[in-house]
Chains A and B, each alone.
Chain A
Amino acid sequence: MQQFLNVTLTGLGQGAIYAAFALALVLIWRSTRIVNFAQGAMAMFTTYLALTVIEAGQSYWVGLIVALAGGLLMGAVVERLVIRPVEGGPELNAVIVTLGLFVAIQALAAILFGSTFKSFPAPFDLRGFTVGEVNIAFTPNSIYVILAVVVVMVALVALFRFTDLGLKMRAAAFSQEVSRLLGVRVGRMLTLGWALAAVVGSLAGLLIAGGSLVYPAYMDGVVVFGFVAATLGGLDSPGGAVVGGLSIGLLLSYVSGYLGSELVALAALAILVAVLLVRPQGIFAKAAARRV
């Protein structure tokens, strides 16, 4: 029972991180119709920025602000300089460009920050709670992680559903020509979408780094599992991304705890294939297929 409880809670904590990452993927997908494989590398880069600030003696929160601001800027710059030239061509081009960007940023980080492991501080206590005799694998830091993800999800839903800006962003992504005719500044919307997604991605990077070790490739696993989570929830749905992330976190934790850690990557692949066979649009997607 104790083990089940701990494996479950650990899975939830891990799932919250996958959810944050899936949210960033969903955000870019909704606002630009591109899946950004460089998301993890961008988040890793801003996490290193935060670490540099923290190592210089600033607090975690200053580091957090620097990372999020860095993410905002980086997202906008990447969209303007790297993605814009291939926009309008086949969609595969943009996807391949993001893959290339992923490799390039990772290499750049290794050059700038070194490839050794570094510990990243957590803003809250890393010791688990105990209730009587029972240990609970849940720390003040896990609560912070989950709260942060929930706040971001609510903010995103609110942005897309209740604001003019969200409507414009969705319109720009769906149909550039029609949006332009209706007076939407499509280029700006796309840049904004990338910038916001990079902020959410940066947050995910910081959340997973807190109280653990960082190195240039530390986001690789999160990218893969975050993608599975986004697919599971449906690439269009922020709520789906969160549910997908938590489910993947839990499932993989059970697989690792009860079946063996060597099966984790295989299990994620099986989930991905199963979802695509049974419900390719994702569990939470509303439209079966959108026809243009």
Chain B
Amino acid sequence: MIRRTGPLVAVAAAAALLLSACGAGGRPSEGTGGGDAAASDVGITTTSVKIGGHFPLTGVAAPGYSEIPTGMKAYFDYVNAAGGVNGRKIEFIYKDDAYNPTQTSQVVNELVLQEQVFAIMGGLGTPTHSAVLDYLNAEGVPDLFVSSGSLLWDQPTKNPQTFGWQPDYEVEAKIIGQYVSKNFPNAKVGLFLQDDDLGRDAEKGARTFLDKQIVAAERYTPGNTDVAPQIAALQAAGADLVIGFNVPSYTALSQLVSLRLNYKPQWMYSNIGADPTLVGSLLARFSEGKVTDAGLLEGMISTRYLPTVDDPQNPWIQLFQKVWDASGADGELSNFRVYGMSEAYTFVSALQAAGPNPTRKGIVEAIQKTGKSWKGPWLAPFRYSADRHAGISGVGVTRITGGKTERLTPVFVTDNGTAPITESTEPPSVPPASGIPEVAPAG
């Protein structure tokens, strides 16, 4: 009879594995973010400011996104080499959460309780950062410039510590939607959405202009790499223009599946999933005689709200290239590193605005007071105020042509809901000679 225990044990273990595969959103344990009275606030000394972030350095969202913190670090190092902000060097600690909300809770706990960071900076991902949103606000930790376009970060009454940064998915989808309704008025539109707030916000924005044109909306679960059933459903619905709101690896996966299905709609991908260098490198190996040619992405439409590395004449790209070369880190300057550096540039602006003795309360108030007017690499202004914590207010539409990003429209500016879409009138900004923002204390 002894032998009978084998299958039972095995089955119990498999059931446990399956349960964990079903996913469980962990809750952060309650703790007290103790203050250190010697300096102006937690994480601040006379010579340093300690901040932290969570990023997917491994797992499905790691391609591309894992480069963001390296860009941020390079820019902070550049500022530190020039003496820091008000004599304080910025110490940036980033941890891997593998795009898994349970791990996000754990690493953010470590950052807040063990590392005693002043603020969380650039925490990446909608499902991941949602898991720590309540915790950070309950603890009063500034939760600055979340690396995600969800609308969740713009709830100043409920989450006074949290600020968005990139254009939210609704704003981006509205501008994409208007572009499609004007330029592809007869297209049958299919949506390929990540099944969380990312997809939901985007669908809301896209339906503002495209409700009548949308024939199907299909959702994939991050982590499940078989998207064939979803793409087959879009094909069956007759969609001849597909808009994807997904992370970059799913851009590659959806392209591979479409190849199998002989499905050739006009592809559009949200900025977050559309980096041509990254997606191209993921697909490149299949081009060796097996896939028609490397031009799978040719003609793909996307958006921009930051300068891109294929425009080396841009003064911001020149600055960031200098910063990256000075950092001595491995790899090339990529659009993801530009993104990280732009976020870091925003943080330095915020720290300057918070004045010579920054506090957690002070930096939040400073962003609300003057954030709207800060100049930087972003192509449209932030929407920060006492009752708005929303980030960049617009995007321009682009197309991949011959491996390069081609501009299809000027930058459009809009806001959530029924706000009109207008062309941006601001002249393009240029970086200050030092490469470091010069923001006056908001006092």
Contact = CB atoms under 8 A, between A and B. Distances in A.
A complexed with B: yes
A177 to B, nearest CB: 13
Contacts of B261: 6, 128, 135, 137
Contacts of A119: 252, 282-286
Interface stretch (A32-40, A73-81, A240-248): A32-40
Contacts of A217: 58-59
Contacts of B66: 116
Nearest to A115: B58
B290 A126 contact: yes
Nearest to A226: B14
Contacts of A125: 290
Contacts of A138: 260
A221 B230 CA distance: 18
Contact of B219 (A92, A260, A268, A280): A260
B220 interface: yes
A127 interface: yes
Interface in B285-323: 285-286, 288, 290-292
Contacts of A110: 58
A34 B13 CA distance: 13
A57 to B, nearest CB: 12
**B1, B10, B17, B59 — most chain A CB neighbours (10 Å):** B10
B282 A268 contact: no
Interface string A224-251: 1001100100010000000000000000
What size tier do the contact residues of chain B reach? 35 or more
A257 B22 contact: no
A108 B226 CA distance: 26
Contact of B286 (A121, A254, A268): A121
B9 A256 contact: no
Interface in A197-219: 211-213, 215-218
B328 interface: no
B4 interface: yes
Contacts of A280: 7
B224 A126 contact: no
A212 B217 CA distance: 24
Given A99-B13, A126-B291, A265-B23, A256 B224 contact: yes
B233 interface: yes
A105 interface: no
B236 A116 contact: no
B147 to A, nearest CB: 18
A121 B285 contact: yes
A149 interface: no
Contact of A37 (B13, B23, B236, B285): B13
Contacts of A127: 259-260, 262, 291-292
A61 interface: no
User: Which size class do A's interface residues fall under?
Assistant: 35 or more
B286 A292 contact: no
B422 interface: no
Contact of B14 (A91, A212, A220, A231): A231
B235 interface: yes
Contacts of A269: 15, 18-19, 22
Nearest to B58: A115
B256 A211 contact: yes
B333 interface: no
Interface string B241-278: 00000000100110010011111000000000000000
B273 to A, nearest CB: 13
A9 B252 CA distance: 21
A291 B2 CA distance: 9
A117 B235 contact: no
Contacts of A256: 224, 226, 229-230
Nearest to B284: A119
- The secondary-structure label for the interface of chain B is helix
Interface in B1-48: 1-7, 9-11, 13-15, 17-19, 21-23
A91 B6 contact: yes
A211 to B, nearest CB: 7
A231 B5 contact: no
B7 A10 contact: no
Given A95-B10, A119-B282, A231-B11, A291 B58 contact: no
Contact of B10 (A35, A139, A253, A266): A35
Nearest to A114: B58
A137 B259 CA distance: 9
Given A116-B62, A256-B226, A262 B17 contact: no
A213 B236 CA distance: 26
A152 interface: no
Contacts of B18: 224, 228, 265, 268-269, 272
B229 A291 contact: no
A117 B282 contact: yes
B221 interface: yes
A229 B176 CA distance: 43
B233 A224 contact: no
A95 B21 contact: no
Contact of B229 (A10, A90, A115): A10
Given A119-B283, A227-B14, A262 B59 contact: no
Interface in A164-214: 211-213
A112 interface: no
Contacts of B228: 6-7, 10, 14, 137, 253
Interface string B198-226: 00000000000000000000011101111
Contacts of B17: 37, 223-224, 227
B195 interface: yes
B442 interface: no
B62 A115 contact: yes
A126 B283 contact: no
A289 interface: yes
Contacts of B252: 119, 213
A246 to B, nearest CB: 15
A120 B285 contact: yes
6 contacts: A6-B228, A14-B228, A35-B9, A121-B285, A215-B59, A262-B221
Interface of B: 1-7, 9-11, 13-15, 17-19, 21-23, 57-60, 62-63, 66, 195, 219-221, 223-230, 232-233, 235-236, 249, 252-253, 256, 259-263, 282-286, 288, 290-292
Given A91-B2, A224-B17, 7 more contacts: A35-B7, A90-B5, A117-B63, A127-B259, A221-B21, A253-B228, A261-B221
Closest 10 CB pairs of A and B: A257-B229, A3-B236, A35-B10, A10-B228, A115-B58, A6-B232, A256-B229, A119-B285, A135-B262, A269-B18
